[in-house]
Amino acid sequence: MSKIITPIVAIVSLTFLLAAGDPEKADLAKLQGDWQMVSGTRDGMVMPEAMTKTGKRVCKDHSTTVTVNGALLMTADFTVDASKNPKQIDYDVKAGANEGKKQLGIYKIDDDGKTVTFCFAAPDKDRPDAFESKAGDGRTFSIWKKSEEQGH
Q: pLDDT digit of tens for each residue in the chain (152 aa)?
A: 545 544 444 443 433 333 356 888 999 999 999 999 999 999 999 999 989 999 999 999 999 999 999 999 999 999 999 999 999 999 999 999 999 999 999 999 998 899 999 999 999 999 999 999 999 999 999 999 999 754 44
- Note whether 78 and 60 are within 8 A (CB): no
What are the boundaries of each domain within the chain? 22-147
Domain 22-147 grouped into CATH 3.40.50.150: no
pTM: 0.82
Query: Exposed/middle/buried for 124, CB within 10 Å: 0-12, 13-18, 19+?
Result: exposed
How many Cβ atoms from other residues are within 10 Å of residue 143's Cβ? 18
